[in-house]
Amino acid sequence: MFTCAWIWIYAGSVLMLLELIVPGFVLCFFGLSAATVGVLRFVFGEAFDATWQLAAFSACSILYIVVLRRYLKKIFVGSMQDGSDFDHESVGRIGRVTAAINPPLTGRVMLGDSEWSASAAAPIAEGVNVRVVAQNNLTMEVAAV
């Protein structure tokens, strides 16, 4: 049960399972290449020696990464189809200033159950309700309501 072909197949299985832990969608192709070499070893037997095995593993790895990764990544990684823009989902929300905003310094606003850094064009006192008009990374641009 521990012939050379089985070792390649076991190694391929381990690499494909490691893909679940390590991000990047690359180990899967090395695992697929190792499994392919294992199958080729079964087909060709002793004639498929170590040199041919390493050459086949290298060639299959490159081929699978170049050809299959582009197509399979679209399937497994997916994409957003509803048009949501997570970078600007807070725009339009109403919040309350928890630390006064005095331009050019930032203050703090409470949006829902989260507190964020906030900037404004004009000074805004603590306790005033504000509306988010833009989002710059983790800083909200607000205006008094």
What pLDDT shows up at residue 75? 74
What pLDDT shows up at residue 70? 79
Cis peptide preceding 104, ω within 30 of 0: yes
The pTM is what? Answer: 0.52
Condensed to tens digits (0 to 9), the pLDDT of residues 73-107 reads 777 665 555 554 555 678 899 999 999 999 999 99
Provide the 8-state DSSP code for 87: G
Helix, strand, coil percentages (3-state) for the chain, rounded to 5, are 45, 25, 30
Condensed to tens digits (0 to 9), the pLDDT of residues 30-65 reads 999 999 999 999 999 888 999 999 999 999 999 999
Token pair 């606003």: residue = 109
C-alpha angle with apex 37: 35 to 63, nearest 5 degrees? 90
What pLDDT shows up at residue 80? 53
Structural domains in the chain plus CATH codes: 4-77 (no CATH), 90-144 (2.40.50.140)
